Amino acid sequence: MGTASAMPISDRNPSAQMLTVNGRLFLIDCGEGTQKAMRKAHLSFLKVEAIFISHTHGDHLFGLFGLLNSMAMYGRTGKLDIYGPQPLGNILNFYGNYFGEGTNFDIVYHPLTGKEPELVHTSKWITVKAFPLKHKIDCYGFRFDEIVTQRHMLENPEYKAKSYAYCSDTMPFQALPEWVRGVSCLYHEATYQDEMADKANSRFHSTTVQAARCALEAGAGRLIVGHYSSRIVDFEAYLAECTAIFKDTVAARDGDVFNI
């Protein structure tokens, strides 16, 4: 629902994704314009089971207040779990103090502080682990692993659980490929092309080549890249840098839908 980096532009919102699992929705980051993108995709505000915020830079959460307010206006009553770094707690308290009137559902905030991958959420269908990334401020990625049910095994004894990992703003670091090893699908930010590696490094971001190398080392099934610099206009050249290293790469556009 958003593939831009720091600034929204005419055809790209800032970061936001929705993972759908058996009819339940899991929102990952919530940049400006997220609830409008949800409306376009016909995604229910009431079916969002949990929200995962990678970090407190505005392009990853400026849409959160509006979304929470709309949930209240739609009459949501079921609790909402929100996961994010510790500074997010103060932001949610601010929302509650100034805009929380009329909110008839519990917002349950779960602060993330782990230095290694940590199980943070379990539902009927999936488990979610949070793991620290390497950015200017505290930032987390998320790994979603499907729970294989008895029904799966009865229908197909060789059924393989599906998995998805979301690596938000980060520069490369040694442990990351291991933490996302074997995922069916990996999203990895790729803000810059390879020729801008120095700028990526200074801003704690990744390039096309670095994202593709992570997917290759991790043995991922597919790589999706996004979080593009506003300078990116030639997507074919951008994508070519990724596919030269990791063939099954897709450069996401706002509104894209992928089946895992």
What's the per-residue H, E or C state across 167-187?
ECCCCCCCCHHHHCCCCCEEE
Choosing from 11, 29, 59, 198, the catalytic residue is 59
Alpha helices in the chain (DSSP H): 34-40, 64-73, 87-99, 150-155, 176-179, 197-202, 208-218, 235-243
Residues 3, 232: Cα–Cα separation, whole Å: 11
Catalytic residue at 29? no
> If DSSP codes are grouped into helix, strand and coil, which group holds residue 26?
strand
Angle CA(179)–CA(49)–CA(84) in degrees, nearest 5? 50
What residues act catalytically? 59
